[in-house]
Amino acid sequence: MKYLSCRYIEHGMDFEHTRLETCCFTCHSGGGQITLKNEYAGEQINWQELFDKKRKYREEHRKGNLTPNCKGCVFLEEKDWDEEDYINFLQFNYWIACNSKCTYCYEVQNKKLFEKIKPYDAVPVVRKMLEEKILRPGGEVSFGGGEPTIAPEFEDLINLLTQYGFRNMRIHSSGIKYSPAIAKAIEKGVLNVVISIDSGCEKTYKKIKRVNAYKKVIENMRKYAQANTDKFGLMTSKYIIIPDVNDNRKEIDLWIDSVVKCGGKWLALDIEDVWYKVNRSTISTYYLDLVNYVIDKAGSLGMKVELYDRARGLKEGKNQL
């Protein structure tokens, strides 16, 4: 039976700092993040309970009652969904520590709140999920944070998932720390690393990131880009447009030039989340023009662009929803 749902409601799970959610997406008008378990800190999961919860959400979608948090989400699609209970879209967002201090970061802005949260290690749970075939390859595993590469269990986690045949992993990293496990998985063609740089020069980088690491990030972008040079490679350089800071063609040109020099072929583009949410219904065409500028310029250089949620919402006119 065809109905409106998404891959995360059907087969997704997200490890957050203190909860388990269906997904980590919050950019749309509904707000996202449908809770599967509150007060979670790395303990083993009662799968019967968790899938019962997921089934309730799925049942409502089947009846045409869209979960309010999903309203306006770009991931909704109408199709025949597989009814079996398993997870194959997994997100890791439970890390708090980071080696950058981005001005737009929610965790940096709410440092006191995050200081109170006790970090946990998801590896034992993931290992059990793999052994019991609750977690299966075939979807996507993504890593956000905090900064995943500085977590003690990070290298083990990547090696474990690689060993179990996961071929579609994606890591969001500050790019400040080089990870041998990332490079090895890129070499095998099973992982894409997205490096957040948001700038085309050292001065703007420092203004946004508030750390002195531009050269290190450029060097790591180059190493990851060269770990696998097949087709479009597996290193993506990400730029969040921040109004009045880096929202101009000059900075964007410098950014794209630096990616070309590193041997990178993929760009990712987004718009600063808080500003987007506040201004979503009145965003001027200047920003849509800027998004189109990146797409056109990348196309003329034989590069590809992935639009992240806010940029994609703007491009598809969904910011008005």
Residues that bind ligand SF4 (CB under 6 A): 6, 8-9, 22-23, 25, 32, 34, 69-70, 73, 75-76, 98, 100-102, 105, 107-108, 145-147, 174, 196
CB of 316 to ligand SF4, least distance (A): 14
Q: Between residues 173 and 258, which has the closer beta carbon with respect to ligand SF4?
A: 173
Q: Between residues 116 and 231, which has the closer beta carbon with respect to ligand SF4?
A: 116
Q: Between residues 107 and 140, which has the closer beta carbon with respect to ligand SF4?
A: 107
Q: How far apart are the first and last CA of the chain?
A: 27
Cβ–Cβ under 8 Å, residues 3 and 66:
no
CB of 146 to ligand SF4, least distance (A): 5
CB of 152 to ligand SF4, least distance (A): 17
Q: Between residues 41 and 274, which has the closer beta carbon with respect to ligand SF4?
A: 274
CB of 189 to ligand SF4, least distance (A): 25
CA 90 to chain centre: 11
- The Cα 190–Cα 228 span in angstroms is 10
* Closest alpha carbon to 23 in 173, 142, 195: 142
Q: Between residues 76 and 160, which has the closer beta carbon with respect to ligand SF4?
A: 76
Burial class (CB within 10 angstroms; exposed 0-12, middle 13-18, buried 19+) of 143? buried
Q: Between residues 14 and 295, which has the closer beta carbon with respect to ligand SF4?
A: 14
User: What tokens were used for 309?
Assistant: 């949620």
CB of 99 to ligand SF4, least distance (A): 7
Omega before residue 146 within 30° of 0, cis = yes
Q: Between residues 98 and 225, which has the closer beta carbon with respect to ligand SF4?
A: 98
* Closest alpha carbon to 288 in 264, 267, 320, 312: 312
Burial class (CB within 10 angstroms; exposed 0-12, middle 13-18, buried 19+) of 54? buried
Buried b (16+ CB within 10 A) or exposed e, 8-32: bbbbbbbbbbebbbbbbbbbbbbbb
CB of 108 to ligand SF4, least distance (A): 5
CB of 10 to ligand SF4, least distance (A): 9
Q: Read out DSSP for 36-86?
A: EESS-SS----HHHHHHHHHHHHHHHHTT---GGGTT-TT-EEEE---S--
